[in-house]
Structure 1
Amino acid sequence: MTSGRVTVYFAALLARTEDGWQASDTELDDVETLADLTDLAREAAVDDDTVLALIEQEDAWFGIVRLEGEDDPRIYVSDAAAAARSSYGALLTDELLGRDEDGTDELDSLDLDGTEDGEPEPDDADAAAEEPVPHGPLGDLALLADFEVGEKDLLSLDGDALTALADMLGCTDVLEAVR
C-alpha cells in the first residue's frame, strides 16, 4: 500500500512448450526476493524451456523476467524509476543496478575505498546511497528477440502492455484466461 491506496499488480507466468504457451496466474504474496520469483517461475517450466514471469503495476510499469533452465534470469523493466518505487519492481531494478536486497551497492560492502581502517568516507557512502534510478526502460531489450519481439516493440509498449506483448507472442487467449 502507498498513501492509503491499494497498489494493484498483475502477475502471470508464461511457459513455452512444444504445443505453444501455457499461462498461469501467480500470487506474489510470498515473493520477497528475485530468487523467490525465479524459483516460482522455474516451477512452471516444462522441460527447462523458456518461462516468462510478467509483472505489471496499474499501467505504470511492467517487467519481464525470462528464465531458461538454470541460466541466470534476463530482466527488462519498462520504467525503472516507477518500478523502483514499488516492492516488486524494486526486486527487478535492484538486480539490474547491481544493488543488494537492502538497497546498497555490492561493492560498497567490500571496503575497497582505500582508507586505512576500511571505513568508507561519509561523502562516498552518501553519494552511493543517493544514486538515482534512471527514468525509462532498463534491462535486456533483446530478451524476446528470438520470439520476434525486438527492441522497438518493447519500447513501444504502454498502457495495457502485457496484453499487447501477449498479442506479439501469439498467446493473448492464454494470458487473458488467467487475468
Structure 2
Amino acid sequence: MYFTALLARTDDGWEASDTELDDVESLDELAELAREAAPDDETVLVCIEQEGAWFGLVRVDGEDDPRVFVSDAARALRSAYGEILLTDELLGREPEDPDALEQMVDLDGTEDGVEEEIEDDDEESAAPSGSDAVPRGPLGDADLLADLGIDAGTVLKLAPDDALSEIADALGCAEVLEAVR
C-alpha cells in the first residue's frame, strides 16, 4: 500500500494534500504537479511511502531542478512510483531507452525471473549485478531538508514505516499531514 502527499510551504505555514500519481510518468511531470501546488514558487515536498518498505522525498523550489531522496533504491525500483524517482541521473548512468526500466520489471512488480521478495539478510538478491546495479539502501540528496531543520544524518536514520510522520513533526505540520492520510 502506498501513501502520497504534497506538503507546500505557504506564508501561513505548511499545507498538505493527498495526490494521485497514477498519471505521472516522469520526475519532470512530478515536479510540475508540485509546482502547481505552491503559491509564489514556495517549497513543495512530494512524499511517497510504500508501507514498511521504502519512502521517497522530492523537493521542488520554484523552477529549480527537483531534489530527490529515496530510502532504499533497490526496493523502490520494484515499484511504479519508485520508477518515477530513480532517474538515470540519480542512478549515475547514461540515459537509456525509456522502456528499459519497464522491460526490467514485470507487471507483478518483480524483476524478470525473480519471484521472491527482497529479504533484509539477502543483500546479494537486492539488485541486479553489473554496471546497471541499483544500490540497496539510501540514494539521492539526504541533505534536501537541512535548511528546514532536518539534517542528512537524521534523514538517513529514518525508518520507512514512520519517516513521513517524523519529518512532518519536525517541520511542524504533523497535524496537516495526518489529516490527508
TM-score of Structure 1 vs Structure 2, range by shorter chain: 0.7 to 0.9
Which of the residues 155, 175, 178 maps onto 1:176?
Answer: 178
Structure 1: 5+ residue stretches without partners: 1-7, 105-125
* Structure 2 SS opposite 1:143: coil
**What corresponds to 2:29 in structure 1?**
36
The separation in 2 between residues aligned to 1:58 and 1:166, in whole angstroms, is 17
For residues 123-161 of structure 1, give each alpha carbon's deviation from its aligned partner in whole angstroms, at most 9, with x where no partner exists.
xxx955xx2100110000110000110011101111221
Structure showing greater Rg: 1
Moved more, 86-95 or 24-33: 86-95
The separation in 2 between residues aligned to 1:156 and 1:29, in whole angstroms, is 29
> Percent of aligned pairs with the same residue?
61
Give the aligned length.
149
The separation in 2 between residues aligned to 1:103 and 1:87, in whole angstroms, is 13
* Structure 2 SS opposite 1:91: helix
Q: Using CA pairs under 8 Å that are at least 6 residues apart, name the structure with larger relative contact order, 1 or 2.
A: 2
TM-score of the pair, normalised by structure 2 = 0.77
Do 2:27 and 2:87's aligned partners in 1 also have CA atoms closer than 8 Å? Answer: no
Do 1:9 and 1:57's aligned partners in 2 also have CA atoms closer than 8 Å? Answer: yes
Question: Aligned runs of 1:152-167 on 2, under 5 Å?
Answer: 152-158=153-159, 159-167=161-169
The separation in 2 between residues aligned to 1:46 and 1:30, in whole angstroms, is 23
The separation in 2 between residues aligned to 1:165 and 1:59, in whole angstroms, is 16
Q: Considering only aligned residues, what root-mean-square deviation do their CA atoms show, in Å?
A: 1.7
* Structure 1 SS opposite 2:39: coil
**What corresponds to 2:142 in structure 1?**
141
